[in-house]
């Protein structure tokens, strides 16, 4: 009861014959996308999956021809076409009565930026796709440039002083399409993440999962601390963990404690925030507003921010 709630999650009788992400992949050590794929593997258990991946670190880690890093059939597409190609694959699976879950795995560049048109269209068409965005808040594959997912205060290789604008609220954008299921998942809360992955895998229609994905290389942080960073982001309210059903019903899954201590810790453990010197106090007004909106959407009474 006291142990982390992992019972039956890993290495069970339901394990896939092959992991989704196999050893020998070329992702950096401590990559959040790797963690995500491990958890997705546990969540998927013996379900039939097919991956579609636009240009991304995931695409690069797929291995050099003819190797296949992923334990399921995988199609690499152009950067902007993740959701489109997945639509095609899902359509054919459906036409053939196959129970294949077509999973489009994309980074934030392929989701928030170049791929947003095809993503939005696929969402609007309610294609039978599970779209997972591993959001490391930069163009990691090209060495760490700014994307519209880059948070305020972070530098990037093409951004000297720290981004001025807050990151795009992609979850709200997707929810506005009234898709059956959109959720953000915390990789640091494996029980919550795996549960929602299962929900998303088993629903039909367009499902969207957003994972804050630590990138030690781009965030300039200790690889070992990736999960802790996610935890801090969740705790502080920076990364809200919620589910949105049909674009209407909002359920907050993990209550933050809104502590500035966690937020400052989050910022200080990543060198990308160093130059701008951004602090919890700078971010808090926006976060308060964000959460006020979320409270209103989730129909919950606004709790007082814990005074420190």
Partner 1 sequence: MNHQSHAGNTGQAHTNVLPVGLSFPLEVRVHGRGGQGGVTCAKLIATLYSQMGLQVQTFGDYGSERSGAPVQAYTRVDRVAIANRNKVYRADHLIVLDRSLMGPQVLSGAAPGALLLLNTGAGLDSYAGRYTNCRLGTVDATAIAREHGIGSNAVVIVNTTILGAYARLLGVPLAVLETAYASLGLSDDLAAAQHAYDAVQVRDVIRPAGDAPTTSVLSAEMPAVGPLTGHNVDCPPTLMTGAWSSQTPSYQDHDAPCNLACPAGNDVVGFVQALGRDGAEAALAILLRTQPLPSVCGRVCPAPCMQSCNRKSFDGAVNIRSLERWIADHSDLRPVQQAAERRRRIAVVGGGPAGLSAAYQLALHGHGVAIYEAGPALGGVLRSGIPAFRLPREALQRDLDRILALDIDVHCNSRLGSDDLRRLGDDYDATIVCIGFGPAFGLSIPGAELDGVEQGLAFLERVKCGPVSLQGQVLVVGGGNTAIDCARSALRCGATAVKLVYRRGREDMPAIDEEIEDAESEGVRLALYRQPVAFAGNGNVSSALLAEVEAGAPDASGRRRPVVTQRASSVTCDKVLLALGQGQDMDLLPSDWEIRKDRAWRGDQAEQTWFAGDCASGDGTVTHAIGNGRRVALAVLRSLNGEAGELPSGATGTVAPAQIRFSHFEVTPPHRDKQISPSARRVSFEESNLGLSGPEEAGRCFSCGHCTQCDTCLLYCPDGVIRRSGDGYRIDVNYCKGCGMCVAECPRSAMEMHEKTT
Partner 2 sequence: MSAQLLSANHGAAMAATLAGRANREGRGFCGGVYPITPSTECMEFLCLQEIEKGRVVRTESEHSAMGVCIGASASGARAFTATSSNGLAYMAENCMAAANLRLPVVLAVANRTLGPPWNLWADHGDALMLRDLGLLQFFCADNQEVFDTVLCAFRLAEDPEVMMPAMVCMDGFILSHSVTMTEISDQEQVDRFLPLTTIPHQLGHTPHTLGQIEVPHQTEMHRQQHHAAMLGVPRVYEGVQDSFEAIFGRRPADAVQAYRADDAETLIVSMGTIGATVERAVTMLRAQGHRVGALRVRMFRPLPVAAIRKSFAGKKRIAVIDRNISLGLGGILWGEVRALAEPGTVVQNYLAGIGGGDVRPEHIVSVLADLLPRQVAGLPEMVEAV
Q: Which residues bind partner 2 (CB under 8 A)?
A: 18, 48, 50, 52, 59-60, 62-78, 80-81, 83-96, 117-118, 120-121, 124-125, 127
Contacting residues toward partner 1, per CB under 8 A: 1-4, 6-7, 9-11, 19, 21-32, 34-35, 38-39, 41-42, 57, 60-61, 63-69, 188, 190, 216-217, 221-228, 231, 235
Q: Residue 25's closest CA among 55, 77, 68, 54?
A: 68
Report, in Å, the least distance between residue 115 CB and partner 2: 10
Structure tokens at 83: 């959701």
Inter-residue contact 228 to 265 (CB < 8 Å): no
- Rounded to a whole number of angstroms, the minimum distance from the CB of residue 141 to partner 1 is 9
Closest approach, Cβ 79 to partner 2, in A, equals: 8
Out of partner 2, partner 1, none, which partner does residue 78 contact, by CB within 5 to 8 A per kind? partner 2
Of the two residues 1 and 64, which places its CB atom closer to partner 2 in the complex? Answer: 64
Closest CA relative to residue 225, chosen from 170, 194, 267, 196: 267
CB neighbour class for 219 (10 Å; exposed up to 12, middle 13-18, buried from 19): buried
Q: Kindly tell me which of 74 and 147 has the beta carbon lying closer to partner 2.
A: 74
Nearer to partner 1, 73 or 246 (CB): 73
**Nearer Cβ to partner 1 (8/117):** 8
Q: State the binding partner of 222 from partner 2, partner 1, none, CB within 5 to 8 A by kind.
A: partner 1
Q: Quick one: 77 or 118, whose CB is closer to partner 1?
A: 77
Q: State how beta strands 181-185 and 129-135 pair.
A: unpaired
Distance CA 159, CA 13 (A): 48
From partner 1, partner 2, none, interface partner of 203 (C-beta below 5 to 8 A by class) = none
Q: How near is the Cβ of 65 to partner 2 at its closest, in Å? A: 5
In this structure, how many other beta carbons lie within 10 angstroms of the beta carbon of residue 197? Answer: 25
Rounded CA-CA distance 136/158 in Å is 16
Residue 60 CA, distance from chain mean position: 18
CB of 59 to partner 2, least distance (A): 7
By a kind-dependent CB cut-off of 5 to 8 A, residue 27 interacts, out of partner 1, partner 2, none, with partner 1
Closest CA to 151 of 302, 34, 266: 266
- Name the token pair of 5: 């709630």
State which residue, 10 or 117, has the beta carbon closest to partner 2: 117
Give burial (CB, 10 Å; 0-12/13-18/19+) of 260: middle
């Amino acid at each position: 009861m006291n142990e982390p709630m992992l019972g039956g999650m890993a290495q069970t009788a339901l394990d896939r014959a092959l992991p989704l992400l196999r050893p020998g992949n070329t992702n950096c050590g401590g990559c959040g996308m790797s963690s995500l794929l491990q958890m997705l593997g546990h969540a998927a258990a013996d379900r039939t999956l097919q991956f579609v991946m636009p240009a991304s670190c995931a695409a690069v880690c797929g291995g050099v021809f003819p190797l296949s890093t992923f334990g399921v059939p995988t199609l690499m597409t152009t950067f902007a076409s993740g959701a489109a190609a997945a639509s095609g694959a899902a359509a054919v699976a459906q036409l053939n009565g196959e129970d294949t879950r077509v999973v489009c795995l994309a980074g934030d560049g392929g989701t928030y930026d170049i791929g947003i048109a095809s993503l939005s269209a696929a969402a609007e068409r309610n294609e039978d796709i599970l779209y997972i965005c591993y959001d490391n808040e930069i163009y990691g594959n090209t060495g760490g440039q700014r994307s519209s997912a880059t948070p305020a205060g972070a530098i990037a290789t093409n951004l000297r002083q720290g981004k001025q604008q807050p990151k795009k609220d992609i979850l709200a954008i997707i929810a506005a399409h009234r898709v059956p299921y959109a959720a953000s998942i915390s990789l640091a809360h494996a029980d919550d993440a795996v549960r929602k992955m299962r929900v998303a895998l088993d629903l039909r229609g367009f499902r969207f999962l957003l994972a804050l994905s630590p990138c030690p290389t781009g965030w300039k942080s200790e690889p070992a601390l990736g999960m802790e960073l996610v935890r801090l982001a969740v705790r502080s309210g920076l990364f809200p963990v919620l589910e949105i059903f049909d674009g209407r019903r909002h359920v907050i899954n993990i209550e933050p404690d809104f502590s500035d201590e966690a937020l400052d810790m989050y910022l200080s453990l990543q060198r990308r925030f160093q130059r701008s010197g951004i602090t919890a106090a700078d971010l808090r007004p926006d976060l308060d507003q964000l959460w006020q909106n979320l409270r209103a959407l989730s129909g919950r009474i606004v709790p007082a921010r814990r005074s420190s």
